[in-house]
A and B are shown apart, each in its own frame.
Chain A
Amino acid sequence: MKLRFLIPLFAFFALVGVLWIGLSLDPRALPSPLVGKEAPDFDLPQLRDPDTRFARADMLGKPALFNVWASWCVTCRHEHPMLAQLSNNGVPVYGLNYKDTRSDALRFLARYGDPYQAIAFDEAGMVGIDYGVYATPESFLIDRHGMIRFKHIGMITPEIIENKILPLYRQLEAES
């Protein structure tokens, strides 16, 4: 009978627990409806050479990382060395330069290095909309058939490379 008086205390701790979990969640990390679907088609001019094109089909045949970035995006600058690390690990990295200007983007690459195999130049951001981009940087791991297998919103960290991207990449590489 005495335990009844502890009910408010338990209720309080339950509430604290729920709020604690709520605080630890990232409200920006939305589940993407694109994972498990075909990567949307596109055909855009390349960033480095406006006269050549870069299309979705150019990424196929081998699993690849498709990274959405812009020179105005501060987090992209912090993320940039991670892309070089992935590239050094044998992961083909392709870029979608999102709502940027060509001169700013090229200056960014000249200054921080260029780990990309090819970069599509999406000045109007329409391909970005097709990929559901809302918070650069965003990265998609696409398998050899063009299926999106993993999406990461925000900066790629060494932990994400070690625990998510590289293991999944090796697995996709082994798939036929």
Chain B
Amino acid sequence: MRPYPFILPLLCLGALALLIAPGSLLANPTAPPSEPMTFETEDQEVRYQRLIRELRCTVCQNQNLIESNAPLANDLRRQISLMIRDGAESQEIVDYMVARYGDFVLFRPPMNATTYLLWFGPVAMLLIGLSALGMILYRRRSQIGAGDLSEEEQERLRRLLGEGDGGKA
């Protein structure tokens, strides 16, 4: 009937490919192509990739160095790659960054007086919530216990239940 029955599915496939392609490129960002980073060993490359994911860009604060397009992030990536090529240990590079920008550059902050709330806050909230829940449940149980019926009421209850059974039988 239709002269080119295969054209429509092909178009759909093409559109789908166009939709998917940029998405898959964005899904796993690597350093922008404008700054090719070459390393002598695979270990250096791996450490570089790990560091630029663990260190925060202080300009755009909720991005790490690999996500950020800020000029400073670019400079810091270059600096890290140079230090790695010069044979610096990962910890040395982290210390270098902390000495300049403070603990804030670490996405995994160290435990100290200023970060106790950050580290233990969630656990404290959980404990408060659990103890509130426990208190409510305990009180409710003692309320159920306090609701005992008197002799007279027991008698009436038995009679009602008995009548119910009798009615069915």
Contact = CB atoms under 8 A, between A and B. Distances in A.
A33 B61 contact: no
B32 interface: no
Interface string A2-44: 0000000000000000000000000110111110000000000
B71 A125 contact: yes
Contacts, number: 41
A158 to B, nearest CB: 27
B130 interface: no
Contacts of A134: 58-59, 72, 101
Nearest to B74: A125
Given A129-B79, A134-B58, A134-B59, A33 B72 contact: no
A125 B101 contact: no
B108 interface: no
Given A27-B61, A30-B58, A132 B72 contact: no
What range describes how many residues of B lie at the interface? 10 to 19
A130 interface: yes
A130 B101 CA distance: 9
Contacts of A131: 100
A132 B75 contact: no
Given A99-B71, A134-B58, A33 B76 contact: no
A126 B75 CA distance: 8
B99 interface: yes
Contacts of B102: 30-33, 132
Interface in B66-93: 71-72, 75-76, 79
B75 A129 contact: yes
Interface string B124-158: 00000000000000000000000000000000000
A104 to B, nearest CB: 15
Nearest to A135: B59
Interface string A124-151: 1110111111110000000000000000
A133 B58 CA distance: 9
29 contacts: A28-B61, A30-B58, A30-B101, A30-B102, A30-B104, A31-B104, A32-B102, A33-B99, A33-B100, A33-B101, A33-B102, A33-B103, A125-B71, A125-B75, A126-B79, A128-B75, A129-B72, A129-B75, A129-B76, A129-B79, A129-B100, A130-B100, A132-B101, A132-B102, A133-B72, A134-B59, A134-B72, A134-B101, A135-B58
Interface of B: 58-59, 61, 71-72, 75-76, 79, 98-104
